[in-house]
Amino acid sequence: MQATLTSVAAQAVTLKVNRTEVVAQAALTDTLLSTLRSDLGLTAAKRGCNQGVCGGCTVMVDGKTARACLTLTQNCGSSEITTLEGLREDPVMNALQHAFAHEGGFQCGFCTPGMLISAYSLLRGTPDPTDQDVRANLSGNLCRCTGYASIISAIRAAAAALKSAGGSQ
Ligand code: FES
Ligand code: FES
């Protein structure tokens, strides 16, 4: 019994989250989503399905989108983690947020942080995406409210705004 308790006990892990080093306590089975939300107070990533399906928990790990609910905190010790909170000053994210608001790209807003991170990843790599690019990129992000058309319009509008402003930087 004691061995079991010891094996799930939290251990310190140093994470780099939004360009800042933080020390979190995490058991081997703790997910990055629970660490971000419960331990670090970063609640933009949402717990929807908690099994890798809905995309509500999407964050960036080493520059790529990742499901925080499927990522173990103890495996992130050497990774750069970026959440929506870390992109407040980012011009690409700002353009996306403005376009989502302008185009009605959200209703309840639960899926929006994950959508924004996925869209951000798309525009960083593909500054001038086609409709098909946008649809493919959002295939792992579920929205129960909008029907997706306004989200796709918002991402295309953000891309156009960034292009006319001189690129996605
Ligand atoms: S909460 Fe992670 S994919 Fe749904
Ligand atoms: S805006 Fe409600 S789930 Fe997408």
Token pair of 28 as six digits: 């081997």
Residue 157 CA to ligand 2 center (angstroms) comes to: 19
In 3D space, the residue among 32, 23, 121 whose CA is nearest the CA of residue 76 turns out to be: 32
Question: How far from chain centre, in Å, is Cα 151?
Answer: 16
Pocket test for ligand 2, best of 110, 115, 150, 151 (most atoms within 8 A of CB): 110
pLDDT of residue 42: 98
Rounded CA separation 113/13 (Å): 25
Is residue 143 lining ligand 2, measured as CB closer than 6 Å?
yes
Is residue 106 lining ligand 2, measured as CB closer than 6 Å?
yes
Rounded CA separation 25/10 (Å): 5
Is residue 50 lining ligand 1, measured as CB closer than 6 Å?
yes
Residue type (1 letter), 52: G
Report which secondary-structure segment, H or E, holds 13: strand 11-17
Question: Collapsing DSSP states into helix, strand and coil, what is residue 123?
Answer: helix
pLDDT of residue 3: 44
CATH 1.10.150.120 in the chain, residue ranges:
89-164
Is residue 144 lining ligand 2, measured as CB closer than 6 Å?
yes
Give the right CATH number for 89-164 from 1.20.272.10, 3.20.20.450, 1.10.287.890, 1.10.150.120: 1.10.150.120
pLDDT of residue 7: 53
Ligand closest to CA 145: 2
Q: What are phi and psi of 108, to 5 degrees?
A: -70, -30
Q: Which residues, 6 or more positions from 51, have their beta carbon under 8 angstroms from its beta carbon? A: 69, 70
Question: Collapsing DSSP states into helix, strand and coil, what is residue 142?
Answer: coil
Question: What architecture does CATH give domain 10-86?
Answer: Roll (3.10)
CATH 3.10.20.30 in the chain, residue ranges:
10-86
CB 129 within 8 A of CB 156: yes
- pLDDT by residue for the chain (169 residues), tens digit each? 444 444 578 999 999 999 999 999 999 999 999 999 999 999 999 999 999 999 999 999 999 999 999 999 999 998 999 999 999 999 999 999 999 999 999 999 999 999 999 999 999 999 999 999 999 999 999 999 999 999 999 999 999 999 999 844 4
Rounded CA separation 82/121 (Å): 11
pLDDT of residue 166: 83
In sequence order, the β-bridge partners of residue 60 are 65, 82
pLDDT of residue 169: 46
